[in-house]
Amino acid sequence: MTLSSARRIELFRRMLRLRNVELRIESLYHEDRMKTPVHLCIGQEAISVGVCAHLTNDDSVSSNHRSHGHYLAKGGGLNELIAELHCKESGCTKGRGGSMHLVDTAVGHMGSSSIVGGGVPIGTGMAMAYKMRGLARVSVVFFGDGAADEGVLYESVNFAMLKRLPVVYIYENNGYSVCTTTRERQAQELIFHQVLPNKMWTQTVDGNSLDAVNAAAATAIALARSGGGPSLIECKTYRVREHAGSGVDRTGKYRDPAEIERWETHDPVHGLRADLLARGLLDQKGLEAMEAAIEAEIDEAFRAAVKSPLPLDEDLTRYVYCED
Judged by the rule CB under 5 A, the positions of this chain that interact with Mg ion are 144-145, 174, 176
Site string for ligand TPP, 242-281 (x = CB under 6 A): -x--------------------------------------
**Residue 65 contacts which entry, Mg ion, ligand TPP, none (Cβ below 5-8 A, type-dependent):** ligand TPP
The yes or no reply on residue 241 touching ligand TPP (CB under 6 A) is no
DSSP string, 219-272: HHHHHHHTT---EEEEEE----S-SSSSS---S-SSS-HHHHHHHHTT-HHHHH
Distance CA 59, CA 130 (A): 9
Instruction: Output 65 or 273, the one with its CB closest to ligand TPP.
Output: 65
Instruction: Output 17 or 255, the one with its CB closest to Mg ion.
Output: 255
The yes or no reply on residue 144 touching ligand TPP (CB under 6 A) is yes
141 DSSP β-pair partners: 62, 169
**Among residue numbers 160 through 219, which ones bind ligand TPP (CB under 6 A)?**
174, 176-178
Q: Strand (E) positions, 17-166?
A: 60-63, 109-112, 139-144
Q: In Å, what is the CA distance from 201 to each residue of 41, 46, 233, 268? A: 26, 21, 8, 25
230, 167 Cβ separation under 8 angstroms: yes
Q: Taking the complex as a whole, how short is the minimal distance between the CB of residue 6 and ligand TPP, in angstroms? A: 31
Instruction: Output 127 or 190, the one with its CB closest to ligand TPP.
Output: 190
The yes or no reply on residue 145 touching ligand TPP (CB under 6 A) is yes
Contacts by residues 222-227 (CB-CB < 8 Å, ≥ 24 positions apart): 222/54, 224/127, 224/138, 224/139, 224/166, 224/167, 224/168, 225/136, 225/137, 225/138, 225/166, 227/164, 227/166
**Residue 219 contacts which entry, Mg ion, ligand TPP, none (Cβ below 5-8 A, type-dependent):** none
Instruction: Output 41 or 282, the one with its CB closest to ligand TPP.
Output: 41
Distance CA 142, CA 70 (A): 8
* Site size with ligand TPP, rule: CB under 6 A: 16
Task: Tell me which stretch binds ligand TPP (CB under 6 A): 19-27, 79-87, 143-151, 185-193.
Answer: 143-151
Instruction: Output 41 or 298, the one with its CB closest to ligand TPP.
Output: 41
The yes or no reply on residue 40 touching ligand TPP (CB under 6 A) is no
Instruction: Output 115 or 292, the one with its CB closest to ligand TPP.
Output: 115
DSSP3 helix / strand / coil % (the chain, rounded to 5): 45, 10, 40
Distance CA 169, CA 231 (A): 6
Q: In Å, what is the CA distance from 158 to each residue of 118, 229, 230? A: 16, 12, 10
The yes or no reply on residue 114 touching ligand TPP (CB under 6 A) is yes
Site string for ligand TPP, 51-70 (x = CB under 6 A): --------------xx----
Task: Tell me which stretch binds ligand TPP (CB under 6 A): 23-31, 109-117, 123-131, 222-230.
Answer: 109-117
The yes or no reply on residue 147 touching ligand TPP (CB under 6 A) is yes
Q: Taking the complex as a whole, how short is the minimal distance between the CB of residue 40 and Mg ion, in angstroms? A: 13
Q: Please pick, from the candidates 21, 116, 216, 220, the single residue that binds ligand TPP as defined by CB under 6 A.
A: 116
Q: End-to-end distance of the chain based on CA atoms, in angstroms?
A: 43
Angle at 156 between CA 126 and CA 48, to 5 degrees: 60
Contacts with ligand TPP by CB under 6 A lie at: 39, 65-66, 114-116, 144-147, 174, 176-178, 239, 243
